[in-house]
Structure formats: structure tokens, C-alpha cells
Structure 1
């Protein structure tokens, strides 16, 4: 997703302004709203990646915006992480939770979806109170519903997932859950890593070398200055310029 440079720079300036404002600043709410609006293209771009999977596009956009708001609220510039690198996994995670929590393999009426949620919550509460799983009658009394409604809610829970993760995989006894991989945290930043290569290649050789020594060699600015043969202040200026170039090129892609 490409954004006009002036809009991208404005979004970065607004975010920097918001980061410097104390919590009780009278203009903080206004600036926060402007930051969210400025970064809406990123939210819509990520929502578009999940389109075509059975969910209305409007719902995906709204969910992505919720993720964007969370990213803006939780972002801490002092950690040295670029906002885009923080916001992408936050927004994508919110959309994935939407699919996990709201999407059913078999569509059932909203009434049964709500009953399933109420029954699940009541089961947890009563199990803790009773020290055992509650009966249908106990669930009915707790929720002030008829036993038939409780049974419908319990039955609806089966429609949420077509296959239990506890079901045996194939003909063996190994549960399906044991064969599933864990979340790959690196996958969330894969696109940024792909974009980083061309962005680094656009730097001049000295900028590339100093960035490599700083972030891959873990050298201090003083050590870099001694190795390259320039002053520490010069190293600092080159680092700042190189990072600004990288930010600009990476922002063009999002």
C-alpha cells in the first residue's frame, strides 16, 4: 500500500506529538483522533488481506480499526520500535481473533450463539463454585432459562468447530492438536523483512557499513568511529540519516 509522502509525514508527526503529550493534556484526545485517522489506510490495507474468507468487508474494516486504536493506545516510542512494525501485528492479531471468536463452521441463529456464550460462561462459574461440572438443571436455574434452552445452547457449541482438536489424527491415538504448529512470531514481520532488503540496498556504502556495524556487529558509536576513521558525531549523523531513509522507503510500502 503506497501513501502520499505528505500524508505519511503528517501521520509520523502527529504520532510524535501524541507520544510527547502528558496523559492529562487538554489536546491529547483531539491529537489521538487525528493519529488514528492518519493511519486508517494501514488498517484498511490489512483488512483487505483477509477479504474473501466469508466475513463482510465492513466487519473486517471495523475490526482492523479496533486493532489500530489498540496499537495507538499501547505504542511506546521510547522502546525504539517503529510504529508500523508494532501496529501491523497488533491489527492483524485483532482480525485473527475476530475469525477465531466470531466465525462458525456451521451457521446458527444469533439466539443460539448468544445462548452458547451464556452457557459457556455459566459453566465456568458454576464449576468453580461447585467443584464439579454443573448439570443441565443447575445451568437452567443459574441462567433463569428452561432446560430445553440450555440443551440447545450446549448443542450449538458443537457447530462452532467442525472438528475437535482433541480428536485423533488419522487412525492413531495422537490428538490433532499435537500436530499443529505454534504461532510463528517472525511471520508477522515477514513483509517488513522482505521490504528491508531493497531499502538497505538504496543506501550508500558508508551508510550500509555503519548500520551493519551498529545493528549486526553491536558496536557502539565510539567503536564505529574508531574503526571507520571518523568522529563519533559524524557516525551519529550518518546513522540518523540512514534510518530516516529506511523509514521513508518502508513507509512507502505500507
Structure 2
């Protein structure tokens, strides 16, 4: 037995004993020792899954959670090293995080799970067929329906959402056109609200009879004769009240509103 092997065996025994102590006492001091021992492993696995992405620090944190889970659940009686148990546990946590937390748009979990399978199937079938596989071939390979494959491929495009400020074209004057320019629309609700508030303010200066006459004229479209018959007053009285009501309205309007 070589000296290097004996040293490694001794280290493994020490680590195994530290893990047992940690599982028994949940000692924070022992936890720190073990985390420092395997943090390089976590960093390596996190970098493997975060190439070109902007959530590398998050994957390191998730990987540390996986490491702690492995430390708490490891059982040396199964005859395997801690590393061989910890690696798939850490990777599992990282993959779950990527599947559940990094989509910009919410999609069903089955889509998230089927997406990577379709990607792997495409790679394998492309190698076997020496061409891009058809949808029905992917479906047959994965034992799913063609509709599920198409749905997953379409919804997988939602992995990253486009910002409404993203430049997508250039207008005739050399300016940029954004997605918001295309999907946006003028909201007329604010104008209607302002008009409604103005009407309520104006009508507050009228008495009940004047309000009723203006309502009959402008909302029901009745003539002065019809209004007089409806209210039980003469047509001349209706005319006089209508004129007085309009004068009150005119005086109560803001200057800019009356000019328009």
C-alpha cells in the first residue's frame, strides 16, 4: 500500500468522522470545517451550469444548500465516498433551481421538465440520423405526443422575457423603435375620468329641476314641449329653466374648458 494511498485513506476517515460528528451534534464549527473542505467542489459545479448566465452567485448559494443536505444525509455504511454522494445531490439542487426559478415567464412544470429532455433527444437523434429530427421522431424517442413536443418547444422561448424598451427597428428619421412603441396604446380612460369629474363639479351648481331638464335635453333627447309634459310645467317655464341652467354651467366652467 503506497504512502499516498494511506494518507488519502486517513483523510477520508477523518472526513467521515467529522460528518458523523456534524450529523450527531449539528455543530456550527464542524459545519464550517466541512463547508470549507468542499466549497471548491461547489464552485466548480456552479460554474459548469452558469456559463454565460447572470445567476452564477445564486447557483453557488444553491450548491451550498445541496452540500449541507448531502452532509446531513450521507451514510457511509453504503460503502461509497462522500464525494460520490455529494456531487449528484448538489447538481440536483442546481438543476431544480434553474428549472423553477430562472424562467422570466411562468410556464407549467411539465414544460420545464420536458424541455431539457427534448434538447438531449435532438442532439442524440441528430447524431444518429445525420440530420435534424422531425417532431414525430422526437415524440417517438421520448414517448410523448407531438403536441407536447410542439407546446414545449414554443413555450421554451419564454425562458427570457423581452424588455418593452428593447430596440427592435429604426424609424425613417433614424430613431429607434421599441416593443413598447408597437404594443402601446393611448389610454382614453384618464380623459373620460377628467370629463366625468368636470361634469360632477359643474352639475353641483344646479338645483334638482335644472339637472332634470338638462338630463332630458341632452341624454333623452326630448323637446321642451315633451319635457314640460313630463315634468308638469309649461314649455315656456322649461325654456327659462334650461337657459338659466346653461348660464350657471357656463359660469362654473374653468376658463380653458369654456373656450374649448
Q: Give the TM-score taking structure 2 as reference length.
A: 0.37
**Higher relative contact order structure (alpha carbons within 8 Å, sequence separation ≥ 6):** 1
